[in-house]
Amino acid sequence: MEKKLLNELKKKLEAEKILLEKDLLKFADKDKKVPYDYDTRFPEFDVASRSSAPDEHATEIDSYGNLLAVEHALELRLKEVGEALEKIKKNDNTYGKCEKCQGEIELERLKANPAAKLCLSCANKKS
């Protein structure tokens, strides 16, 4: 792959990684032992209002569930981005190669999603 293009994709990935980490840290703590893992903080709510207003309590539990789903999606994306960056750093020519057929991933595809792991045809077969 062209060095200039590789640098461009790397910059995109680095910028996305920073954004993802920022988003995650708004409501989750980084798990220092597991890479790319975050733990959602349980929202703190008033114990007194909890017992007097059970409905409110249910709402908070519900939003915690939503946060978990969001956290999971962000984590997955962060992992993809992080792994793509690691491949670029290793410089062993695995970046930009399809993990399934080892073929080159289409450049347009990489530009749209620099963390893509599969070429277009393998990605289509998968779904």
How many alpha carbons lie under 13 Å from residue 91 in its C-beta half-sphere? 4
Encoding tokens for residue 19?
Answer: 């954004």
The site string for Zn ion over 46-85 (x = CB under 5 A, - otherwise) reads ----------------------------------------
Report whether 83 contacts 35 (CB < 8 A).
no
Q: How far is the CB of 24 from Zn ion (least distance, A)?
A: 30
Nearer to Zn ion, 41 or 125 (CB): 125
Nearer to Zn ion, 7 or 121 (CB): 121
Q: How far is the CB of 70 from Zn ion (least distance, A)?
A: 30
Instruction: Kindly provide the residue ranges of all beta strands, DSSP E only, lying in 1-125, ordered along the sequence.
Output: 28-30, 38-40
